[in-house]
Amino acid sequence: MNKIVTSSLLVLSLVFFNSCKEGNASEKVKKENIITAKKRDVEISKGSAEIEFDITEYDFGTVNEGEIVEAKFMVTNSGKTDLVISNVQPSCGCTVPVWPRTPIKPGDSAEVLANFNTAGKPNRQAKTLTLITNTARGREVLKLKGSVTPRVYTDEEIRKRIKPLKKN
């Protein structure tokens, strides 16, 4: 049994070390293939949708905690094919995006909205929306920023929130 294990380990070691002698995989890539791929990518991107924004960062200034901030971003398709926004991913669950679910034709515009609920989010805030699109980049990022003034609780509200201790 000992000889079988030793023989197996020896064979595996030889296979492993021989496979490492073949050199770096990046050295095997032909430079012509890289150039061809770059040319192909340029040609593909020429026909793809292109996206432009009126603004990419919305500063909502200073608001009170508990308010809902609505940010509007105008999106324009400056490309040659329909622009499709397949998804919008907010950086936080406190931000709810609304975006056009139908393709935006070349030259047309549409709104992307973001509703940011400031409840429980005091002080400086910075949120992002990542748009998943059919542009050459594939992803576009919009930003919201501002300051949320913390809510001040009255004595009565504090008393209501404090639970009495249970007696054993």
Burial class for 132, CB neighbours closer than 10 Å (0-12, 13-18, 19+): middle
The tens digit of pLDDT for each residue in 11-57 reads 666 666 665 555 555 666 777 777 776 666 665 556 689 999 999 99
Residue from 127, 93, 124, 97 nearest 110 by CA: 97
Q: Is residue 128 in a domain?
A: yes
Indicate the pLDDT class of residue 164, thresholds 50, 70 and 90: confident
Range of the domain at 118: 51-148
**CATH number where 67 lies:** 2.60.40.10
* Rounded distance between C-alpha atoms, residue 127 and residue 148, angstroms: 13
Burial class for 114, CB neighbours closer than 10 Å (0-12, 13-18, 19+): buried
Cβ neighbours of 138 (radius 10 Å):
11
**pTM over cut 0.95:** no
pLDDT confidence of residue 154:
87
Q: How many domains does the chain have?
A: 1
Q: Is residue 18 in a domain?
A: no
Task: Give the DSSP letter of residue 34.
Answer: H
Q: Is residue 118 in a domain?
A: yes
